[in-house]
Structure 1
């Protein structure tokens, strides 16, 4: 129990410390990971470039995401929006997780505005979360209600999938204790 609290506290502290660094942009790291496409394994064109610090299958979703340097901006934004407890407390979720490159596509003024408005940040981030675990078999023609309340769609085949016809899944089917993570290359905006 104490070990889990310590690890969670360290992951949360790392996320808060990483925010200023993440906003400045981080250099991409490239380390190999199993990229074999299969319904039970990870898949996608970017899996080989996803570096991971440890096995995340037994970690809650935010701690699992924190193990991937490419998701540091998302983890920092989740901490800023006070979503860590909410996300980690859900039993089965799917996160369409924007990577650091996705956040770099957002203009500086848009990002500053988003990070300065906690309610809007929470709305945008929860639009990336579905309150069920989505399998790769559900991605070809998927339509899902997000925690934010709006719908998002998935489409594609094989190992080539899109979310809302705009974000590519660069690495998918990453397992956490309470979640499935699909890393995407665009920050999604909920419908107005």
Structure 2
């Protein structure tokens, strides 16, 4: 490789980083190689840097990553109430369909408070959001996955637009953590 090619490569990489920063787009972590890159309009709502950013989440196991992300504070509180943090953090190659705070806000307050107070039901609901395999973007096009709760959930879509169970939209998908892939969704899923 000659010097001109090296300079062009460095310039192209630098230009991409500058463009992303100027446009307010959080670049995916360079160390994450899970077969997909984060996608979706909701990714722009994540912090640009720090522990709750895409780069920060890549360094932590999934429950820890969620607890550091301001978009997932209700989910993090629910995981803590159900004592699932260690289970999620110690699992390998899982996918978490993570409801955002806005997803939890769709549930009437009385119903949400009742769910958070019922550890058994809360555990069932949270485990329904976890699949015991690492799902890639291409898997989401027409997927049928068994959850840790025991029931199946389905995904469909194309491009950057995917739906879970024909009800929840993936607003930011393909987020890598140290042990999982996270798909941020706009609706809390309920098992049958």
Q: Same fold (TM over 0.5)?
A: yes
In 2: Cα distance, 1:179 partner to 1:127 partner:
15
- Look up the match of 1:53: 50
Checking the alignment, whether the CA contact within 8 Å between 1:45 and 1:170 is kept in structure 2 is: yes
Q: Provide the aligned length of Structure 1 versus Structure 2.
A: 158
Question: Aligned runs of 1:30-49 on 2, under 5 Å?
Answer: 32-34=25-27, 40-49=36-45
Q: Deviations over 1:81-122 (max 9, x none)?
A: 000011111111100000000000000111011011000000
In 2: Cα distance, 1:32 partner to 1:75 partner:
25
Question: Aligned runs of 1:111-150 on 2, under 5 Å?
Answer: 111-150=112-151
In 1: Cα distance, 2:168 partner to 2:79 partner:
20
Checking the alignment, whether the CA contact within 8 Å between 1:139 and 1:161 is kept in structure 2 is: yes
- Look up the match of 1:92: 93
Q: Which protein has the bigger helix share?
A: 2
Unaligned runs of 5+ in 2: 1-23, 29-34
Provide the aligned C-alpha RMSD in A. 1.4
Q: How far is 1:41 from its partner? A: 1.2
Q: How far is 1:34 from its partner? A: 3.2
Q: How far is 1:66 from its partner? A: 1.8
Secondary structure at the counterpart of residue 121 of structure 1: helix
Q: TM (normalized to structure 2)?
A: 0.79
In 2: Cα distance, 1:118 partner to 1:40 partner:
34
- Look up the match of 1:76: 77
Q: Deviations over 1:104-163 (max 9, x none)?
A: 000011101101100000000000000010000100000000000000000000000000
